[in-house]
Amino acid sequence: MKAFKIFVSALALAGLMGMGLTSCKEDKLGPTIFPDEEDVLDPNSYTYKLDKFLKENYLQVYNLEFRYKMQDVGTDMDYNLVPATYENSIDMAVLTKHLWFDVYKDIVNPEFLKQYGPRIIHLIGSPAYNANSGSMVLGLAEGGLKVSLFRVNAMNINDFDQMNEYYFKTMHHEFCHILHQTKSYPVEFNTISTGHYDGSNWQDRQEGVVASLGFVTTYASSAYREDFAEVMANYIVKTDAQWNRILELAARGWESPSSADDPNAYYYCFYYYKDNVAGDDNKAYAQETQVATVEEDGVTHYYLGSQRDKSGNRIVVYPVEDKDGIDGVAAINQKVEIMRNWLKNEWGVDLDALRAEVQERQVSYDIEELRKWVTEIE
């Protein structure tokens, strides 16, 4: 008992000593360790005009740092990446404003991107290659804060399709990620193509095959969220002809002469019989480019180019029957409708108005005029 008292007393003593001694000084925050630096641009700097443009059009308006000088600590260091060229950075800066920020400013409101836009746009010169899958990353949206645009050095300002595919689409794709990372999209979207996503081998799939499964691109077939972002991005930037082409592919049936288990199986949407003699042994497949289309009496006929059988008749080509059990066109349209409603209800954004504005700007911009935003800065 005595020992217990000593123990209690000792604990009390130790506790008091501990309390008294460890609380001997109140911590106070001292002055910042960082030197005071005024955020003033140097007119003698080589990059003064671009820096001033970015400051006035992104930083001051959207609180956004448009980072064109490579900072690899801001990237995944597992990738081997290189900086963007200064010249392409200027082009990307003006195009991003014209085709993304100004669109939302005009169609939605000036505050929209100020509130929901990224805080950093990071330009990177090269693609980020995934050596294992053979694919490349074109854009990244990280935590709703940063959008990285890759492959900037390969941009060809005169190649509309390339600009669309690699840059404009990527902008809207990554911004869509930011939006749904802020407000969830309806889970109903995820149910439309359940069971048909393939996160590992999407890059080996064919555009037409995934379209018939209800995906607008092969990448869309990699995961729910990518599907969602791809629907928005492609719907916005694709021309009517390009969008209708996706739907046309989606309406077709596809089959391959190879086994379904063959990872290298190539799928066709047309077949024919050699010498027009029907039978499994004579069945062969045709590429779309081999097929001649002839309209007769309001009916579409397909032939194998100008080839003829032994009797002199044209070789007849047949569309592959769509047997995947999925109405690809309906699935894509359903996804667009969900997107349309989600943007309208959650964000107050009219998807079709947005699309019309982007389409108009995409085909009408004059890069020389846009560059003057930077080059004519005093």
Residues that bind another protein (CB under 8 A): 3, 6-7, 10-11, 13-14, 17-18, 21-22, 24-25, 27, 33-35, 44-47, 68-73, 77, 79-86, 88-89, 125-127, 129-131, 134, 153
Neighbours of 77 (CB within 10 A): 9
The two structure tokens encoding residue 146: 């940063």
Shortest separation between residue 33's beta carbon and another protein, angstroms: 4
Shortest separation between residue 264's beta carbon and another protein, angstroms: 18
CA gap 106, 44 in Å, rounded: 35
Question: With contact defined as beta carbons under 8 Å apart, do 221 and 197 qualify?
Answer: yes
CA gap 75, 29 in Å, rounded: 32
Q: How far apart are the first and last CA of the chain?
A: 89
Shortest separation between residue 80's beta carbon and another protein, angstroms: 4
Over its C-alpha atoms, the chain yields an Rg (Å, rounded) of: 29
CA gap 179, 176 in Å, rounded: 5
Question: With contact defined as beta carbons under 8 Å apart, do 309 and 275 qualify?
Answer: yes
Shortest separation between residue 89's beta carbon and another protein, angstroms: 7
Q: What is the β-pairing status of strands 135-137 and 139-142?
A: unpaired
Exposure pattern of 333-357 as b/e (b: 16+ CB <10 Å)?
ebbbebbbebbeeeeebebeebbeb
| Interaxial angle between packed helices 224-237 and 169-182, expressed in degrees from 0 to 180 and rounded to the nearest 10 | 130
The two structure tokens encoding residue 99: 């085709």
Shortest separation between residue 160's beta carbon and another protein, angstroms: 23
Shortest separation between residue 71's beta carbon and another protein, angstroms: 7
Comparison of 6 and 353: residue with beta carbon closer to another protein: 6
Comparison of 16 and 294: residue with beta carbon closer to another protein: 16
Comparison of 107 and 120: residue with beta carbon closer to another protein: 120
Question: With contact defined as beta carbons under 8 Å apart, do 232 and 252 qualify?
Answer: no
Comparison of 5 and 310: residue with beta carbon closer to another protein: 5
Shortest separation between residue 110's beta carbon and another protein, angstroms: 31
CA gap 30, 33 in Å, rounded: 8
Shortest separation between residue 214's beta carbon and another protein, angstroms: 31
Which residues, at least 6 apart from 37, have a Cβ–Cβ distance to it below 8 Å? none
Q: Which amino acid is at 91?
A: D
